[in-house]
Amino acid sequence: MHVVHIHPPACIIIVEMVTVGLTFISALVGWSATAALTAYAQRRPGIAAIAWLIAALGITVGLSAAVIGVLFDFGGPTFRLFHLGVSLIGPVYMAWGAFEYAVRAPNARFTSRLFLSVFTIVPLAVLSIDRISGRLGSSFPPLAEHYDLIPRALVNGAQVFAVVLLVTALVVVARRGLHGPGRTDLVVLGLLVLATLLSAIVGRTGLEAVGPLLMLGAVSSLWGAAALAAKPRRDVYDDDDYYDDEYDDVDDEFDEPQEEPVRRKRRNADPYDDLYGGAPAAASPSSKLRGVITIYTLAEGQGDGFDRLANAVVGEVSAREPDTMLFASHTVPSAPLQRIVYAIYRDELAQEEHEQQPHMLEFARRLPAHVVATNVIELSLSDAAANEGLAAMLMPR
What percentage of the chain carries pLDDT values higher than 90? 40
Q: What is the pLDDT of residues 16-68, one digit of tens each?
A: 787 788 899 999 999 999 999 998 888 777 899 999 999 999 999 999 999 99
DSSP string for residues in 308-354: HHHHHHHHHHHHH-TTEEEEEEEE-TT-TTEEEEEEEESSHHHHHHH
Rounded CA-CA distance 17/15 in Å is 5
Residue 279: pLDDT band with limits 50, 70, 90? very low
Q: What is the pLDDT of residues 242-266, one digit of tens each?
A: 334 433 444 444 444 445 666 555 4
Determine which helix (DSSP H) or strand (DSSP E) holds 32, and give its type and residue range.
Answer: helix 8-43
Residue 223: pLDDT band with limits 50, 70, 90? very high
Domains of the chain with bracketed CATH: 8-230 (1.20.1070), 250-263+284-394 (3.30.70.100)
Q: What is the pLDDT of residues 368-381, one digit of tens each?
A: 888 888 888 888 76
pLDDT of residue 152: 93
Rounded CA-CA distance 117/92 in Å is 11
pLDDT of residue 5: 52
How far apart, in Å, do the first and last CA atoms of the chain sit? Answer: 91
- pLDDT: is 105 or 275 the higher one? 105
pLDDT of residue 84: 95
Q: Which of 234, 222, 162, 149 is nearest to 190 (CA)?
A: 222
Amino acid at 154: L
Q: What is the pLDDT of residues 131-143, one digit of tens each?
A: 998 888 888 899 9
pLDDT of residue 264: 55
CB-based burial, 271-310: b 16+ in 10 Å, e otherwise: eeeeeeeeeeeeeeeeeebbbbeebbebbeebbebbbbbb
pLDDT of residue 335: 86
Q: Contact at 8 Å (CB) between 312 and 251?
A: yes
Phi, psi of 129 (to 5 degrees): -120, -15
Amino acid at 227: A
| Strand partners for 378 | 292
